[in-house]
Structure formats: C-alpha cells, structure tokens
Amino acid sequence: MLLKNWASGRHLNININVNFNSTGIKIATELTTRDWFSRIWTVQESILPKNLVVLCRSHELAWTFLADAAKCVQKHLTLPCYMSHNATTNEYMEDVNKFLRAISTIERSKKIDSQISEILTCLHLYRNRQASQAHDKIFGLRNLVDLNGPSLIKERV
C-alpha cells in the first residue's frame, strides 16, 4: 500500500499516516536492505535487462514501480510543505533514506551504462559492492565493459 501510494505521483503529506507509517516503511526498507542490493553480480542484473523485475518471495515488482516511488518521495522531501516540518521529528526518515539510496544507486547505474567503457572505471564505480570471492569483483562486471580495449584480465585456461 505504501509503495503504491509513493509510486502514484500524488502529493505526499507527511502528516498523513499512510505516506510515512512504520509498517510500510519497514517493508520498503526490508526489501532494499536485502543482499541483492549490495552484491556485485546484481549490477549487471539491474543494468542489462530492458524491463527489470524484482522478485521477493511470492511478490513481483516492476523496477519502474520502485523507481517511480523513490522519485516521488525524493521530490516531496524537497518541497516547502515538507521542509516546513522538521525532518528529524519523523522517526522513520532514516529508513526512508535507506530506501532512496538503494533505488537511486541502481537508477544512476542504468543511466551511466552507455558511458562505462573500461574496467577500471567500472571497478571504481562499484568498489563498495560485496562479493563472496575477490575475483568476482571483476567477473561480476565483465559484461558491462568493452573488452576490446586494453586487456587487464588474464583468464585461466
């Protein structure tokens, strides 16, 4: 319900419990704090598909739905009606910001996909992503770079 409200694009009033309630924000934060949002392999999983779908248990969400929700919340957090309230009084704002950071990281990646041409740039951009094994930091990004450029990786035969 909360994400649907956020994604609607309608004005969000911080005094209305449905827009910033603990249960809805907890669900949104639990989704975006899952490992998928921090792993190196998910960079290409989120950039390469034309129509990204997020699966969580039995739920299926179009990425555009999550992106629209984050855009709407971000927009309303900077409006005068919200700024007139003290953001620190909303006890859920830290969780809202975690949600926004998780979504915006992937959204930025989708926009810069065409600009990534070399492995060093890619490694720098995603250096904070997690991997089970060190070499996955490189192999998890291989499909995003132009491998016809200078060879930095020697594959094992």
In tens, the pLDDT along 94-127 reads: 888 888 888 988 888 777 655 555 677 778 888 8
Question: What is the C-alpha to C-alpha distance for residues 155 and 152, in angstroms, rounded to an integer?
Answer: 10
Q: Which two tokens stand for residue 108?
A: 């930025």
Residue appearing with tokens 């990534």 = 116
How does residue 137 score in pLDDT terms, banded at 50, 70 and 90? confident
pLDDT greater than 60 at residue 87: no
Task: Indicate the helix (H) or strand (E) that contains 59.
Answer: strand 59-62
The structure's pTM equals 0.72
Is residue 106 classed as helix, strand or coil in its secondary structure? helix
Residue appearing with tokens 């299926």 = 60
